[in-house]
Amino acid sequence: MAELNAEFRGYRSPLSTRYASKEMQYLFSDQHKFSTWRKLWILLAKAEKALGLDISEAQIAEMEKHVDDIDFKAAAAEEALTRHDVMAHVHVFAKQCPLAAPIIHLGATSCFVGDNTDLLVLKDALDQLLPKLVGVIKQLAHFAMQYRELPTLGFTHLQPAQLTTVGKRCSLWIQDLLMDERALRACRDNLRFRGVKGTTGTQASFLQLFAGDGAKVRQLDQTVTRLAGFERYYAVTGQTYSRKVDLEIVSALASLGATVHKMCSDLRLLASRKELEEPFEQTQIGSSAMPYKRNPMRSERCCALARHLITLQANAANTLATQWLERTLDDSANRRLTLSEAFLSADACLLTLLNISQGLVVYPKVIERNIAQELPFMSTENVIMAMVKAGGDRQVCHEKIRVLSHEAGAQVKQHGKDNDLVERIRADPYFAPILGQLSSILDPKTFTGRAAEQVVEFVTEEVNPVVALYADRVVTKSAQLNI
């Protein structure tokens, strides 16, 4: 039995067992990491050969044959001896490739494989996140257009305020998500390769390899960068690329986390009012003790993950702040946690949010009832204006409305009854001149201003152009969530 349950006897991250996608998990896996190291050694050898170093096609072919068949046990044993992860993998790779052994890692420092692999992973991870983010935006834009005219209570200070519409409120969430897309796309577009820089970024070792030919060293940097799939490299580095790069990316991800938390908190508040719900499966259980409950567990999950994501920004900032001179190694363990968890958390948030946005449920009758409890108070100024137009005295009308409003408020607050202000107005002979106008005065749609038009303009002018940037890459379907 102990052997059967061995996999459950050590810590396993919930990000890998419950939340993040398999594709994002693979990017941060050991297999992908160390295979990428080997690919980089091959790219380096190819570029060095092209520039005249004594490297044969047979050596390169031998390395290419063993890109993915990594002996992890042998590497762990080597690292236990050397206390150096890169040299451990150099030794293991060299044993698999005896012909190529003399030229593996030629002229390079550990950060050639470490940092360049991180940059490749960051690029691919951003490429995975952005279509998911835009998929959420696209789904929410459809929802906003569908409900752009449906009046609902607006809230300031979490107190009922002037009316808005369900679609207009959704557009506020979308606007924040568009800002996140812009920030993450900028991170992706600005990302560069560390390239071939040597131990302190001076390229001294490569200058020795090429007998002082600086032009060839620069060409080596450019060639490896291009072969790795980047258009540009960082012109200057220390031993590492600047950890400012990590900070910019994690900050953008943390900002996305704040957006997700805000939106999902709104959804949870609306669910408590029974106005709007996230999807709820037929067999889903909301509570082990209270069978009637329909807890917003997806939104709660997003908030929980988003809080963790938000806190990671401080890790990235402190890592940058504590780099000494050309670099110090106290960033290593922290970055292993921070970069992977930032992307895995963001991925999990977007997968869950995509699921939510595909199946939001609106309850117009509940919304209408909630409006009916507050709108009479909001409409009092319109009633006064209508009476003045009908020949009434504003001050007299104001006093009448004040008294009736307080009476109606007492019914609501002291006796738990419905707001009966409209009935009190109808029953007061003073308001007889405008009774025929009351229905139009109290029509909720007359209180939403340009909300519907704003949604159309926003989706047309700001959302659609961004969605178009991703064409058929937009992710609009999420798999069944692992509850």
Query: How far apart are alpha carbons 458 and 175 in whole angstroms?
Result: 9
Query: How far apart are alpha carbons 344 and 19 in whole angstroms?
Result: 8
Which residues, 6+ apart, have CB-to-CB distance to 272 below 8 Å? none
Query: How far apart are alpha carbons 44 and 28 in whole angstroms?
Result: 22
Given the residues 56, 84, 287, 332, select the one marked as catalytic: 287
Query: How far apart are alpha carbons 36 and 160 in whole angstroms?
Result: 56
Given the residues 157, 272, 415, 439, select the one marked as catalytic: 157
Strand 361-362 with 276-277, pairing: antiparallel
CA 393 to mean position of chain CA atoms: 56
Which residues, 6+ apart, have CB-to-CB distance to 51 below 8 Å? 210, 216, 219, 220, 223
Number of H helices and number of E strands within the chain? 20, 4
Quick one: tokens of 449? Answer: 């201003």
261 is catalytic: no
Where would I find the beta strands (DSSP E) of 49-158? 151-156
End-to-end CA separation in angstroms for the chain? 26
Alpha helices in 359-442 (DSSP H): 364-378, 380-389, 394-415, 421-427, 438-441
Query: How far apart are alpha carbons 337 and 331 in whole angstroms?
Result: 10
287 is catalytic: yes
Active site positions, annotated: 157, 287
